[in-house]
Amino acid sequence: MIKMSSVMKLKAFHLLILFGSILLITAMQLSLATLAYKLVYFCIGGSFGVLMALAILSSKINRIRIQKIRKT
């Protein structure tokens, strides 16, 4: 795997959030589109949102672990 700095990871996650939210917004705007297109957009956008939430949770858990290790 490619090693990335934390700043680059954060920028990548921000791009993922932006992409997912754009997909969700376009899914809501596509009133003329069929239900299948809306479902695809919601699934893709929602999966990006879930990935982002997991990434935030894991980074916070890692920070707490590092702080506990430093205190001892």
Q: What is the pLDDT of residue 1?
A: 47
pLDDT at 29 over 80: no
Give the whole-angstrom CA distance, residue 38 versus residue 26: 9
Write the pLDDT tens digit of every residue in 34-66. 666 767 777 777 777 777 777 777 888 888 888
Amino acid symbol at 70: R
Q: Which two tokens stand for residue 5?
A: 């700095």
Identify whether the C-beta of residue 44 lies closer than 8 Å to the C-beta of residue 23.
yes
Mean pLDDT over the full length of the chain: 73
pTM for the model stands at 0.42
Q: What is the pLDDT of residue 44?
A: 74
Taking Cα atoms as reference points, which of 49, 55, 53, 43 lies closest to residue 21? Answer: 49
